[in-house]
């Protein structure tokens, strides 16, 4: 036994130590050397989750129901991986929108609704009261275990409650805080987390390794005892799998929605990056503090303890062993666990009550003298009130339930906010009506299925009369609503609460509309949209902002806030810009939100700094514009997306189906696109070609060809003897690069060559008559001379002379014939495609040597005017073909005789050859068509119409030009230009 | 959601499976050891993934 006054002294001493720790941390913060802005303190402060429920209740639960205590800690561990997604989102939104409580979060999301905020506050207050009672019950129980008599314990309970209330005020309500963050409190909570962890580990070590021989010993002995069922879950044990899953879910929601958890996790967070460390540090803390729960629980039973008193095994075991130091350490640990919860929870609750229930009525009375002091005193009163509510619950109802049972009721209570919160963060259509309906029905289910049976059991509510009749009915039994039996009470509650809550939330959100304010807030929350874009013109000044702030937090504090802001931004009071003034107002609103809640702070500033009609209009227009722009329906977007995809596919099909190779390269010569035809031309697949350098893929195209300054059409031969025409041009895409079109003209080239050959033979054919005459004459002469030679003797000198002269003549004729045949042979052979440097005048001579045999040229005067020109690179057979065609056409035009004048001259970078005749000329109506294939003015059978089109093709191949000037009856001049060699 | 964020819901699902039926039924023979071992492993996995993803993030 320990003296009660000693225990009170220890309590007082420990609380004073906590206060000093908090004070030290605040001093460090003011001097700019904060102890709190690091992830380790943040993670330790999250351990406020571990209350006397963990310290005592878990052991009690393990001793009575085995492993069912564990889901309470596995749940937060399971949620930790998701913090990177939704907790970060909540943190950003909270900081951006100056949110300080869960009621603020929901009220703000659903159109800054004060009613919803108030509803959430009432639900939380009712839901958390049992949890507050749990802590006080644990403290009073442990006090009575150590100090003994119940009556003194009752008085001690009162004293402890009052002391805790005072300390809660000292920690959280010394002043109407300008900032929602309390560095001193956080550091104290982190300190307490270490104290309770050490205390539990020490007593756990003592029981496991001093009183027993380790984990193996305890579990083996338990397995062999009548309590072996405590080591299992499922059928035949105290907890089945569905209850296990329900408990897991409850704790997953609790780690977010319990007011103290929200306050520490969200409001007290100083840096988003701390969340990453906390994601594993906090679960690790939970792991450590639970290692010895089962050894202590089973150890207590094995040492003869009663399962009914298992909640206090942590204390009673060392007490029974006479380890006073350990007992006091455990007492402090347990007290620490309870205190941190009570202080933070009451602070969070008081902020909710102030912001959502009190200030909406009170803020209009800011003209009351000492208004800030009034607000502060009200907040202090609310803190005391919360703790007292917990006390009354502990005294009148708590005795009927274990700590865990009480705590789980509170866990279940905050689960009510889950649908409205999660849908609210990710679904824009969720509206206020849905949230109110969902939360209301959820609260009714919670109250009816969980709290009311407790109130009836504690005889706070009568069991008889109409209430008892309803609760005992088949349809409305709180343990089996609508006849649904076979579920444990937590699963039963969760099923109906989530089903009806979600149903009503979704139904009303879909069936009812949103007001403009709700739409705007939905955008802010779901899209994490920064509200700064809606900044307005200012019609207020610094002093006005300071005055408004001063009305609620005091003049001195308000001046400090303004001065601090101006100093941080380097702004002078007399020289503040409109933009900076808006930011000052934002800062002032943020500060006031910490004291009064964001909704009220917004109203105060909007009320005091009245918007002009124009500004209201501008604000309304801004919001309308944004919502209209963003109102492009999913359907329209999907439709646009489909059209885009179809267009893309269509364009790609065109390119893939094209009978030419298309390749695009980027500015670094890497292939970006390679169509199907390119695979055929190059033999290289698209997958191999993409992102490769173009040169190794197409080595038969010179590198110079890909240089942008030298883009031109060219014809190349591939190693596989394909003739490819290539057009390279600049790619008109923002990414730049080149696009090359490759056309396989091998077959066309072959056909052209065959056509050329046919044309040559056709030309030859025209010359046949003249040539046969030219060959026939000398042959006839040769024949005649041979006959004469056969008949003479070579006796006389005259005969010898005749023979000599005849042989010379025959030789001359043979040479002449040979020359003609050679010319024909040279002309008729299949021409090569090679271009060589040659004197154009030689080609002209050779051509004339052919045509002169034509009888038409007997009557034609042939004149030449050849100026000195440099040799040019041409295919001599093809150019001879052109000259022959032009000369024969001239001959056709001068059937009755005339003059053909051919001149060659140099003009700039070209050589010009003119073929001017004095023939019948060409009609104006047909002159533009003479180069068209198969166009002829000659009677049917006399011309194919291909001669000039072949000439045109040949000259174009030589990068030259061919043109015509003619006048009907006035002759025709063909002008051929060929480029000089560079 | 970028690839980094996809890891976390996946890890959540892994944990959900580890801490529920049927794994609890499979390891019912030594459930307390299984639960603490898998709990420790899950925390370790969170830590390792955080270390890897933090390294991958551009500065």
Nearest to A476 by CA among A488, A468, A487: A468
Q: How far is A232 from chain B (nearest CA, A)?
A: 6
Chain B residues within 8 angstroms (CB to CB) of chain A: 1, 5, 8-9, 11-12, 15-16, 19-21, 24-25, 28, 31-32, 35-36, 39-40, 42-43, 46-47, 50, 54
Please name the member of A280, A284, A294 whose beta carbon is closest to the beta carbon of B50: A280
Interface test with B, best of A230, A241, A252, A280 (most B CBs within 10 A): A280
Please name the member of A219, A241, A287 whose beta carbon is closest to the beta carbon of B39: A287
Closest-CA residue of A relative to B44 is A280
Residues B8, A81: C-beta atoms closer than 8 Å: yes
Q: Assign B1 a pLDDT band (cuts: 50, 70, 90).
A: very low
Pair of tokens at residue A349: 């609750």
Query: DSSP letter at A13?
Result: H
Q: How far is A83 from chain B (nearest CA, A)?
A: 9
Residues of chain A neighbouring B39 (CB-CB closer than 8 A): 74, 77, 283, 287
Instruction: List the Cα angle A369/A375/A376 in 5-degree steps.
Output: 115
Please name the member of B5, B39, B46 whose beta carbon is closest to the beta carbon of A279: B46
Q: Using alpha carbons, list the distances in angstroms from residue A624 to A113, A464, A617, A621.
A: 20, 58, 10, 5
Q: Using alpha carbons, list the distances in angstroms from residue A519 to A113, A502, A602.
A: 13, 20, 17
Please name the member of A70, A84, A241 whose beta carbon is closest to the beta carbon of B21: A241
Interface test with B, best of A58, A74, A219 (most B CBs within 10 A): A74
Query: DSSP letter at A981?
Result: P
Structural contact between residues A694 and A663, judged by C-beta atoms closer than 8 angstroms: yes
Please name the member of A241, A244, A294 whose beta carbon is closest to the beta carbon of B32: A294
Exposure on the CB side of residue A726, measured as CA atoms within 13 A = 26
Please name the member of B1, B12, B43 whose beta carbon is closest to the beta carbon of A283: B43
Please name the member of A84, A231, A241 whose beta carbon is closest to the beta carbon of B8: A84
Q: What is the pLDDT of residue A533?
A: 41
CA–CA dist A110, A106 (Å, integer)? 6
Closest-CA residue of B relative to A81 is B8
Q: What is the pLDDT of residue A771?
A: 73
Range list of β-strands (E), A367-494 = 476-477, 480-481
Q: What is the pLDDT of residue A21?
A: 92
Residue with tokens 């040799």: A871
Q: Assign B19 a pLDDT band (cuts: 50, 70, 90).
A: very high
Q: How far is A183 from chain B (nearest CA, A)?
A: 27
The CA-to-CA distance between both ends of chain A, in Å, stands at 117
Chain mean pLDDT for chain A: 85
Burial annotation A869-908 (CB, 10 A radius, 16+ → b, else e): beebbbbbbbbbbbbbbbbbbbbbbbeeebebbbbbeeee
Residues of chain B neighbouring A71 (CB-CB closer than 8 A): 19
Interface test with A, best of B9, B34, B39, B44 (most A CBs within 10 A): B39
Overall average pLDDT of the B13-38 stretch: 92
Please name the member of B5, B28, B39 whose beta carbon is closest to the beta carbon of A234: B28
Exposure on the CB side of residue A691, measured as CA atoms within 13 A = 2
Please name the member of B15, B31, B43 whose beta carbon is closest to the beta carbon of A67: B31
Q: What is the pLDDT of residue A616?
A: 54
Q: How far is CA B51 from the centre of its chain?
A: 14
Residues B50, A276: C-beta atoms closer than 8 Å: yes
Closest-CA residue of A relative to B5 is A85
Burial annotation A561-586 (CB, 10 A radius, 16+ → b, else e): bbeebbeeeebeeeebeeebbbbbbb
Q: What is the pTM of this model?
A: 0.63
Residues B20, A248: C-beta atoms closer than 8 Å: yes
Please name the member of A85, A248, A287 whose beta carbon is closest to the beta carbon of B19: A248
CA–CA dist A536, A546 (Å, integer)? 19
Residue with tokens 């034509």: A854
Residues of chain B neighbouring A239 (CB-CB closer than 8 A): none
Residues of chain A neighbouring B9 (CB-CB closer than 8 A): 81-82, 85
To which H or E segment does residue A140 belong?
Answer: helix A114-147
Nearest to A120 by CA among A352, A325, A324: A352
CA–CA dist A246, A492 (Å, integer)? 9
Q: Where does A36-85 have alpha helices with state H?
A: 39-46, 52, 58-65, 71-79
- A 10 A CB-CB count for A120 gives 30
Residues of chain B neighbouring A78 (CB-CB closer than 8 A): 12, 15-16, 19
Residues A241, B25: C-beta atoms closer than 8 Å: yes
Question: Residue A792: is it exposed, middle or buried by C-beta count within 10 angstroms (0-12/13-18/19+)?
Answer: middle
Pick the residue with more confidence: B59 or A397?
A397
Residues A241, B24: C-beta atoms closer than 8 Å: yes
CA–CA dist A695, A670 (Å, integer)? 9
Structural contact between residues A536 and A611, judged by C-beta atoms closer than 8 angstroms: yes
Residues A244, B24: C-beta atoms closer than 8 Å: yes
Tell me which residues of chain A have a pLDDT lower than 70.
149-154, 175-180, 364-369, 464, 528-539, 595, 599, 607-636, 638, 708-712, 769-770, 826-828, 830-833, 940-944
Write phi, then psi, for A740 (nearest 5 degrees). -120, 135
CB pairs under 8 A between A and B: 75
Interface test with B, best of A81, A87, A208, A528 (most B CBs within 10 A): A81
In the sheet with A723-730, reading across from the earlier edge strand, the strands are A671-674, A661-665, A738-744, A723-730, A713-717
Query: DSSP letter at A286?
Result: H
Closest-CA residue of A relative to B38 is A74
Q: How far is A205 from chain B (nearest CA, A)?
A: 17
Query: DSSP letter at A336?
Result: H
CA–CA dist A699, A719 (Å, integer)? 9
Q: What is the pLDDT of residue A626?
A: 56
Q: What is the pLDDT of residue A532?
A: 45
Structural contact between residues A459 and A396, judged by C-beta atoms closer than 8 angstroms: no
Closest-CA residue of B relative to A73 is B39
């Amino acid at each position: 036994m320990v003296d009660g006054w000693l225990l009170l002294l220890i309590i007082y001493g420990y609380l004073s130590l906590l206060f000093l720790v908090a004070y030290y941390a605040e001093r460090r913060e003011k001097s700019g050397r904060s102890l709190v802005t690091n992830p380790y303190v943040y993670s330790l402060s999250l351990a406020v989750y571990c209350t006397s429920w963990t310290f005592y209740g878990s052991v009690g639960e393990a001793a009575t129901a085995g492993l069912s205590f564990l889901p309470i800690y596995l749940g937060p561990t399971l949620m930790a991986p998701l913090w990177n997604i939704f907790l970060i989102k909540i943190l950003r939104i909270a900081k951006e929108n100056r949110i300080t409580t869960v009621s603020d979060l929901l009220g703000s999301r659903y159109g800054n609704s004060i009613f919803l905020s108030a509803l959430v506050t009432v639900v939380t207050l009712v839901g958390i009261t049992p949890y507050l009672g749990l802590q006080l019950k644990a403290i009073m129980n442990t006090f009575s275990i150590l100090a003994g008599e119940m009556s003194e314990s009752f008085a001690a309970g009162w004293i402890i409650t009052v002391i805790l209330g005072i300390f809660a005020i000292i920690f959280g309500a010394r002043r109407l805080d300008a900032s929602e963050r309390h560095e001193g409190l956080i550091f104290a909570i982190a300190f307490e987390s270490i104290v309770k962890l050490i205390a539990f580990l020490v007593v756990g070590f003592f029981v496991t390794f001093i009183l027993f021989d380790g984990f193996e010993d305890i579990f083996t002995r338990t397995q062999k005892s009548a309590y072996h069922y405590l080591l299992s879950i499922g059928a035949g044990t105290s907890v089945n799998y569905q209850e296990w899953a329900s408990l897991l879910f409850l704790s997953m929601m609790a780690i977010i929605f319990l007011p103290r958890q929200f306050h520490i996790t969200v409001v007290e967070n100083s840096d988003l990056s701390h969340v990453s460390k906390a994601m594993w540090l906090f679960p690790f803390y939970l792991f450590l503090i639970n290692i010895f729960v089962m050894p202590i629980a089973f150890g207590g039973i094995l040492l003869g303890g009663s399962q009914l008193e298992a909640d206090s095994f942590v204390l009673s075991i060392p007490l029974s062993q006479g380890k006073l130091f350990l007992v006091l350490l455990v007492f402090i640990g347990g007290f620490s666990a309870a205190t941190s919860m009570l202080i933070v929870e009451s602070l969070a609750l008081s902020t909710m009550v102030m912001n959502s229930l009190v200030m909406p009525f009170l803020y209009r009375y800011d003209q009351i003298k000492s208004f800030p002091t009034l607000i502060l005193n009200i907040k202090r009163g609310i803190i005391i009130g919360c703790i007292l509510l917990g006390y009354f619950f502990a005294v009148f109802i708590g005795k009927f339930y274990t700590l865990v049972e009480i705590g789980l009721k509170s866990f279940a209570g905050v689960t009510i906010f889950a649908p409205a919160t999660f849908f609210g963060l990710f679904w824009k259509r969720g509206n206020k009506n849905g949230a109110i309906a969902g939360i209301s029905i959820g609260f009714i289910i919670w109250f009816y299925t969980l709290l009311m049976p407790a109130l009836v059991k504690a005889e706070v509510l009568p069991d008889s009369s109409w209430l008892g009749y309803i609760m005992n009915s088949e349809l409305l039994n709180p343990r089996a609503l609508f006849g649904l039996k076979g579920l444990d009470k937590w699963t039963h509650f969760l099923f109906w609460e989530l089903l009806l809550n979600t149903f009503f939330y979704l139904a009303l959100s879909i069936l009812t509309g949103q007001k403009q304010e709700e739409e705007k807030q939905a955008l802010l929350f779901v899209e994490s949209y920064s509200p700064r874009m809606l900044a307005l013109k200012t019609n207020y000044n610094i002093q006005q902002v300071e005055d408004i702030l001063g009305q609620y937090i005091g003049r001195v504090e308000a001046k400090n806030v303004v001065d601090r802001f101006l100093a941080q931004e380097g702004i002078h009071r007399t020289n503040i810009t409109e933009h900076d003034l808006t930011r000052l107002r934002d800062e002032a609103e943020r500060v006031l939100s910490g004291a009064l809640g964001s909704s009220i702070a917004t109203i105060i500033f909007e009320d005091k700094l009245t918007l002009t009609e124009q500004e209201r209009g501008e604000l309304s227009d801004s919001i309308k514009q944004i919502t209209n722009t963003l109102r492009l329906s999913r359907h329209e977007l999907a439709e646009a997306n489909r059209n885009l995809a179809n267009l893309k596919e269509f364009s790609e099909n065109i390119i893939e189906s094209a009978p030419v190779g298309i390749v695009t390269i980027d500015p670094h010569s890497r292939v970006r696109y390679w169509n199907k035809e390119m695979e055929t031309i190059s033999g290289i697949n698209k997958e191999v070609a993409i992102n490769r350098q173009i040169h190794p893929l197409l080595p038969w195209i010179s590198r110079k060809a890909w240089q942008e300054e030298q883009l031109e059409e060219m014809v190349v031969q591939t190693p596989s003897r394909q003739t490819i025409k290539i057009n390279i041009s600049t790619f008109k895409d923002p990414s730049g690069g080149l696009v090359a079109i490759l056309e396989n003209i091998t077959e066309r080239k072959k056909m052209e060559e065959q056509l050329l050959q046919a044309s040559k033979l056709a030309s030859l054919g025209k010359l046949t008559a003249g040539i046969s005459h030219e060959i026939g004459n000398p042959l006839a002469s040769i024949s005649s001379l041979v006959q004469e030679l056969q008949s003479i003797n070579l006796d006389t000198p005259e005969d010898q002379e005749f023979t000599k002269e005849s042989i010379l003549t025959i030789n001359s004729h043979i040479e002449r014939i040979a020359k003609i045949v050679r010319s024909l042979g040279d002309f008729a052979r299949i021409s090569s495609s090679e271009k060589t440097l040659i004197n154009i005048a030689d080609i002209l001579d050779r051509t004339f040597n052919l045509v002169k045999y034509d009888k038409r040229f007997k009557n034609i005067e042939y004149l030449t005017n050849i100026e000195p020109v440099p040799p040019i690179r041409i295919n001599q057979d093809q150019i001879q073909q052109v000259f022959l065609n032009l000369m024969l056409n001239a001959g056709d035009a001068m059937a009755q005789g005339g003059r053909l004048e051919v001149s060659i001259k140099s003009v700039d970078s070209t050589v010009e050859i003119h073929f001017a005749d004095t023939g019948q000329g060409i009609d104006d109506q047909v002159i533009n068509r003479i180069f068209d294939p198969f166009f002829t003015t000659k009677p049917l059978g006399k011309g194919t119409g291909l001669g000039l089109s072949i000439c045109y093709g040949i000259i174009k191949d030589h990068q030259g030009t061919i043109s015509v000037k003619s006048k009907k009856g006035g002759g025709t001049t063909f002008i051929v230009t060929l480029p000089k060699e560079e | 959601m970028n690839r980094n964020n996809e890891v976390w819901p996946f890890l959540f699902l892994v944990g959900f499976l580890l801490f529920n039926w049927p794994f609890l039924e499979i390891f019912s023979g030594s459930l307390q050891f299984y639960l603490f071992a898998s709990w420790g492993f899950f925390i370790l996995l969170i830590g390792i993934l955080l270390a890897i993803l933090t390294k991958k993030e551009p500065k």
